[in-house]
Homo-oligomer: A and B are copies of this chain.
Amino acid sequence: MEVRTLTTVKPDLLNSAVTRLFARLREHLVDQGASVPAVRVLAQLRDRGPSRVTDLAAALQVSQPTMTQQLHRLAEQGRIVRTIDAGDGRAVRAELTAQGRAVLDSLVASRSALLVAGLDHLDESDRDAIAAATPALARLADALDGLRIQK
């Protein structure tokens, strides 16, 4: 049997760390003229391909008018194109442009570089701990999703 200091998760410390990390990640996007909601839409279009307004809104859990507005902004910036669906004149197909894809790739790469640079300032043991915990944190997010739905 392993003998080590018993450590339990301190909710406040976990909350604080997550909040601070998120703030830095968001700030990094904003410094490059992007935003978290915009990047989420671009990533969704990259992953799911051309999509309708309503489907994107559902996938990202925002209202349809919010998604309409976001897509109009992204279209003005040339990062997506909006075309009327052939076969359903009501529907809009949003699709990444080459520029949009390039911007997204660049933002993602830059964000990874930031995290790697941050990790580089840590001890090996801290990096190991974070690497080991990453899947667990994803599962914690899954669990919280589940609790939300039951609410």
Q: Give A contacts to B, CB under 8 Å.
A: 7-22, 24-25, 27, 31, 36, 108, 111-112, 114-122, 125-141, 143-148, 151
A10 neighbours in B (Cβ, 8 Å): 131, 134
Docked-complex contact B135 and A132, CB < 8 angstroms: no
Closest B residue to A151 by beta carbon equals B31
Closest B residue to A18 by beta carbon equals B21
Q: How far does the Cβ of A130 sit from chain B's closest Cβ, in whole Å?
A: 5
A116 neighbours in B (Cβ, 8 Å): 9, 11
Docked-complex contact A108 and B12, CB < 8 angstroms: yes
Q: How far does the Cβ of A136 sit from chain B's closest Cβ, in whole Å?
A: 4
Please list the 4 inter-chain residue pairs (A to B) with the smallest Cβ-Cβ separation, ordered nearest first.
A133-B133, A126-B136, A20-B141, A11-B112
User: Among the listed B36, B112, B126, B137, which residue makes an inter-chain contact with A12, where contact means beta carbons less than 8 Å apart?
Assistant: B112
User: Among the listed B18, B20, B27, B111, which residue makes an inter-chain contact with A11, where contact means beta carbons less than 8 Å apart?
Assistant: B111
